[in-house]
Structure 1
């Protein structure tokens, strides 16, 4: 009988929870997927906990970790119902939790999740805390998905890149010779969604239609691109700790007020230009770019990427058989299998860790 693994992911964009049920590698077939939004109160609390200097953060973080475990457990139960599989058929679930601090230079990264509660409620072994061992070994703890990207999207004899457009954009560079690199390029949906929520009252700019009607502001774009992070060499990773509303507002304040739609167009151009710069600098021979994450559904963003990368086959990951919103959760199911088999889950060439490490902590059912 085929061994099954589940993956649970809630990313920097805070757009909800993605869950997948997959067959263990090497069979590696997806059996079911489920997405559900985060409860509104939990969404707002997690967003607030990303900001430094809150009140009673220890108790609030513990409460959010508890509530996220309950939301994960509900999502997992619905996933298993869809698949027609009992909990006992799943070997383990890889659960990412919600990042609220990512400070690898200071030796820590924090993902909130009461994994013990999830194991108790879900009745399945939980593999969680998947980033901290890499950080302890001197790495960035991110990105962790390039190893899975290599297994799923790599092509012998071709330079392939995989771009995840979540709250933050990150690239996996899969060289023709099998060498794998990866890093965060900068902001994606974190700032785009913030601006849509502020000015449209919507969770995001559907298809990038509002951005498409705006005019890029060259001076503002140049000011945004002056951020030193963009010039750092890999390995590097970032998050809402840097690219948060205050970061944007500080740069907006340097210019006369711009139309909000033009700011949105400029933010989209920032994401596109920093991705293209990074790809041209780090992997100039790339012939294929596959895009996943919520940003893959932003038609304006995808069109701009393709226009800026002539000669590169730019498509979302469904072109290679995996829906864009399945990829990250599947990666954490893959990491759970690696933990169970005591195989390293990190790539030191990506994260900068001192060596390969088995990632995660086990919470038995």
Structure 2
């Protein structure tokens, strides 16, 4: 069933840097971006969302309050999108709101994205489609990644090409005439941001300058890869802060330094950047040796050092998705607008071959907007 209409997509990712919003108009599955808006996460909300990734005191109350604060920030982004477009709430069919992942354990049958969709619908007057991962997990899938279905819709499958999202976690979509493959490959900005903040006080490594000041430690890189069994698991698979986090990194560095001596902080940053590039590139080389292009989106697309490392590791051209018509920073928010569109049209939003679900499923729960 093809359909038209205007939708909004909202995304706050694993990097915890902010909220991206996109207003788009769909004709069938083809989107036309009308506006983009983004807001940083306030420092106190970012700290609380990060803390909620691990067990702590008064979790239920804290999660509820954080979800409300996040929904209020989402509503502010929606307000900016309406202002940018000159449109009103009545001009939009729905908002696709991902929420903030604080637990992701598909192996145990659950995933948790903090959100307050009823509050968001009340604040904006627009219907909200939320909780987009749970139905896929209920059907035996990973609940992630969900964006490969969108990538297939907008990039097509007429030639072998890859779409790489470098958010907190890296994931790949491999598109070809033989089908679509997609899964998480490992850490991306999550560990880079963590280490940069710890040693420089900056929230992220702007332009990769801190990593560029160090030297990749090849032996340490090999050990980081070899020491994590998840990296060798076949797809379908997905991951998050439940696995790749400060304790994960600190244990490995402590073990390495016990046996080999200390490693300079900048060298660790350079090695973590190489870890992202190599775990992405080796999966593309393994799954699609004839890849003709790798399109990069997410925050990592703005890191020239990481882009250069990917270019050196892959035998095909590497470029941001901007050059394919979709700005790298808007890709994921646009994907969740598309997922809301699919929900309203009564069409499946997942790809069972990607997530491992038992079959196609309509994703999300619907929260009506204002009665008109």
Cα distance in 1 for partners of 2:86, 2:198 equals: 41
Cα distance in 2 for partners of 1:203, 1:79 equals: 26
Cα distance in 2 for partners of 1:348, 1:38 equals: 33
The one of 362, 368, 371 aligned to 1:358: 362
RMSD of equivalent CA atoms: 1.1
Q: TM-score scaled by structure 2?
A: 0.95
Give the match for residue 174 of structure 1.
175
Give the match for residue 76 of structure 1.
78
2:44 paired with 1:44 = no
Which ranges of 4 or more aligned residues in structure 1 deviate by more than 4 Å? none
CA contact under 8 A between 1:220 and 1:251: conserved in structure 2? Answer: no
Cα distance in 2 for partners of 1:200, 1:303 equals: 23
2:313 paired with 1:308 = yes
Give the match for residue 21 of structure 2.
19
Cα distance in 2 for partners of 1:154, 1:307 equals: 26
Change over 3 Å in CA distance of 1:216–1:119 after alignment to 2: same
The one of 151, 154, 160 aligned to 1:152: 154
2:138 paired with 1:136 = yes
Cα distance in 1 for partners of 2:93, 2:117 equals: 16
Cα distance in 1 for partners of 2:313, 2:239 equals: 24
CA contact under 8 A between 2:128 and 2:366: conserved in structure 1? Answer: yes
Cα distance in 2 for partners of 1:329, 1:22 equals: 10
Deviation at 1:2, TM superposition (A): 5.9
Provide the aligned length of Structure 1 versus Structure 2.
361
Pairs within 5 Å for 1:257-336? 257-310=262-315, 312-336=316-340
2:101 paired with 1:99 = yes
Cα distance in 2 for partners of 1:39, 1:91 equals: 29
Structure 2 residues without counterparts, runs of 5 or longer: none
Pairs within 5 Å for 1:29-68? 29-51=32-54, 53-68=55-70
Cα distance in 1 for partners of 2:223, 2:24 equals: 44
Pairs within 5 Å for 1:150-229? 150-156=152-158, 158-177=159-178, 179-226=179-226, 227-229=228-230
- 3-state DSSP class of the match of 2:262? coil
Q: TM-score scaled by structure 1?
A: 0.97
CA contact under 8 A between 1:160 and 1:176: conserved in structure 2? Answer: no
- Give CA-to-partner distance per residue, 1:41-78, whole Å, 9 cap, x none: 11000000012x21111111011111111010011101
Deviation at 1:361, TM superposition (A): 0.1
CA contact under 8 A between 2:4 and 2:27: conserved in structure 1? Answer: no
Give the match for residue 238 of structure 2.
237
Cα distance in 1 for partners of 2:175, 2:341 equals: 22
Change over 3 Å in CA distance of 1:264–1:347 after alignment to 2: same
- Give CA-to-partner distance per residue, 1:172-214, whole Å, 9 cap, x none: 010134x111000000000000111111111111111110121
- Give CA-to-partner distance per residue, 1:98-126, whole Å, 9 cap, x none: 00000001000000001100000010000
Deviation at 1:159, TM superposition (A): 0.2
Cα distance in 2 for partners of 1:282, 1:238 equals: 19
